[in-house]
């Protein structure tokens, strides 16, 4: 996987997941891109918002036709046929995404994409979109945010035929382009492109790779493996009804992965990230002693003494077998806090004496 690099556009980063072939297409107004895409939130779980494969249809846009999400034209023009790329786009480029997604979802549902929209000037229409009819898109409208787009370009058609020109392609290559230039077995598929079965099979492999990296004290790399496994499971979980059997089975796989991820972050000194993820976990599973223990250690590291003590006490109550570990942590916390109070007192006395001497 190539390193992330910036496009020559403010607020955009690109990472090539699978290289394409040939030169960049020479585009002109009227050229048509055909591609699959996935839209994700820029959060820990890379929450999937839209997936053209799930919708069962590729996306097409025509150059120069004032597509509402202008940045997509820029992103696609940086891609070669067969390329799969991930783009991070700042909120300055994603403000219209909710409206674009609304139309695409309606088309996939066999509905009129302009249903309910009055024929008025552009500014007037903005007021008619106070609700898109989809809760997740309404949230995006209320709070514009960076988004991640994973795109796979498999067709570019100009007004005079395929780009690159037909003469440069053999008959077999033309047929491949007409269908789709991706050979799924030709490269290691990223999480976004996996089937349900592939995601389930990938989870234990990623878990094992993460554990191996932890033993080598390569915590950042291990955390990335655990995170990828969580993303696989969360994508599957999104298709299940919350708190029903299928959802709960997947959740039971998610929890230890998140805890492993948090342990890596503790080792890396990312204490506030640990606080965020353990708190989120405990909102669903308020009897998880290991989550309380990791959160307590993070609180202790950032001098939240009261919160750390409360969490350590919960650990001892929930899991008596961890009482010895809790006792040790509380002793260390007490010693650290006493040392900090002494240092603070000396510092304040020094400041007071300095101010009196002025």
* Residue 8 sits in the same domain as residue 143: yes
Residue 159: is its pLDDT beyond 50? no
Select the more confidently predicted residue: 11 or 185.
11
**121-139 average pLDDT score:** 62
**294-298 average pLDDT score:** 96
Select the more confidently predicted residue: 176 or 318.
318
Ranges of beta strands (E only) in the chain are 5-6, 12-18, 32-41, 48-51, 59-62, 84-89, 147-158, 161-162
Q: Per the omega criterion (within 30 degrees of 0), is the bond before 164 cis? A: yes
* Residue 137 sits in the same domain as residue 22: yes
Q: Is 65 within a domain?
A: yes
Neighbours of 237 (CB within 10 A): 20
* Residue 248 sits in the same domain as residue 292: yes
Cβ–Cβ under 8 Å, residues 147 and 71: no
Residue 91: is its pLDDT beyond 80? yes
| Total domains, the chain | 2
Choose one of 176, 205, 232: the last residue of a domain. Answer: 176
pTM of the model: 0.59
Q: Is 276 within a domain?
A: yes
* Residue 213 sits in the same domain as residue 329: yes
Helices (H), 112-159: 122-128, 135-142
Could you tell me the residue range of the domain that residue 36 belongs to?
A: 4-176
Q: CATH code at 329?
A: 1.25.40.10
**330-342 average pLDDT score:** 89
Confidence label for 10 from pLDDT (cuts 50, 70 and 90) = confident
Q: Is 128 within a domain?
A: yes
* Residue 160 sits in the same domain as residue 55: yes
* Residue 258 sits in the same domain as residue 326: yes
What's the confidence (pLDDT) of residue 239? 84
Choose one of 176, 205, 226: the last residue of a domain. Answer: 176
For the record, the structure tokens of 144 come out as 């514009």
* Residue 105 sits in the same domain as residue 222: no
Select the more confidently predicted residue: 281 or 164.
281
Q: How much is the mean pLDDT over the chain?
A: 80
Q: Output phi, psi for 10, to 5 deg.
A: -60, 135
Choose one of 129, 148, 176: the last residue of a domain. Answer: 176
Residue 192: is its pLDDT beyond 70? no
Q: Is 189 within a domain?
A: no
Residue 50: is its pLDDT beyond 70? yes
Q: Is 181 within a domain?
A: no
Condensed to tens digits (0 to 9), the pLDDT of residues 224-253 reads: 999 989 988 988 888 888 899 999 999 999
Q: Is 97 within a domain?
A: yes
* Residue 40 sits in the same domain as residue 85: yes
Q: CATH code at 170?
A: 3.10.50.40
Q: Is 358 within a domain?
A: no
Condensed to tens digits (0 to 9), the pLDDT of residues 305-328 reads: 999 999 999 999 999 999 999 999
Percent of the chain with pLDDT over 90: 43
Q: Is 60 within a domain?
A: yes
The C-alpha torsion from 309 through 315 and 318 to 324, rounded to 10°, is -110
List of long-range contacts for 172-177, beta carbons under 8 Å, 24+ apart: 177/81
What's the confidence (pLDDT) of residue 115? 57
Mean pLDDT is lowest, of 148-162, 311-325, 328-342, for: 148-162
* Residue 295 sits in the same domain as residue 250: yes
Residue 158: is its pLDDT beyond 50? yes
Residue 66 CA to residue 143 CA, distance in Å, equals 24
What's the confidence (pLDDT) of residue 353? 58
* Residue 220 sits in the same domain as residue 76: no
* Residue 304 sits in the same domain as residue 162: no
Select the more confidently predicted residue: 107 or 307.
307
* Residue 229 sits in the same domain as residue 288: yes
């Amino acid at each position: 996987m190539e390193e992330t690099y910036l496009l020559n556009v403010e607020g955009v980063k690109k990472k090539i997941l699978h290289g394409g072939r040939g030169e960049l297409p020479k585009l002109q107004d009227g050229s048509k891109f055909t591609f699959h895409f996935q839209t994700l939130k820029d959060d820990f779980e890379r929450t999937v918002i839209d997936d053209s494969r799930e919708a069962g249809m590729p996306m097409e846009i025509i150059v120069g036709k004032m597509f509402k999400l202008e940045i997509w034209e820029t992103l696609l023009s940086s891609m070669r046929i067969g390329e799969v790329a991930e783009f991070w786009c700042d909120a300055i480029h994603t403000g219209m995404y909710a409206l674009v997604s609304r139309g695409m979802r309606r088309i996939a549902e066999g509905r009129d994409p302009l249903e309910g929209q009055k024929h008025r000037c552009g500014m007037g229409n903005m007021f008619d979109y106070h609700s898109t009819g989809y809760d997740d898109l309404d949230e995006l409208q209320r709070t514009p945010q960076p988004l991640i787009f994973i795109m796979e370009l498999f067709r570019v058609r100009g007004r005079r035929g395929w780009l690159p020109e037909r003469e440069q392609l053999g008959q077999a290559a033309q047929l491949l382009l007409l269908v789709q230039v991706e050979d799924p077995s030709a490269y290691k598929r990223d999480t976004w492109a996996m089937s349900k079965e592939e995601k389930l099979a990938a989870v234990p492999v990623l878990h094992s790779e993460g554990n191996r990296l932890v033993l080598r004290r390569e915590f950042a790399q291990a955390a990335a493996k655990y995170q990828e496994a969580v993303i696989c499971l969360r994508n599957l979980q999104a298709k299940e009804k919350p708190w029903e059997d299928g959802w709960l089975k997947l959740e039971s796989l998610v929890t230890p992965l998140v805890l492993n991820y948090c342990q890596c972050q503790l080792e890396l000194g990312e204490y506030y990230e640990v606080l965020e993820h353990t708190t989120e976990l405990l909102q669903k599973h308020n009897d998880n002693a290991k989550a309380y223990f990791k959160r307590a250690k993070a609180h202790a590291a950032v001098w939240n003494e009261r919160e750390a003590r409360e969490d350590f006490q919960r650990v001892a109550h929930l899991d008596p077998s961890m009482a010895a570990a809790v006792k040790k942590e509380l002793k260390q916390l007490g010693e650290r806090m006493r040392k900090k109070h002494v240092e603070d007192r000396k510092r304040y006395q020094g400041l007071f004496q300095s101010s009196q001497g002025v």
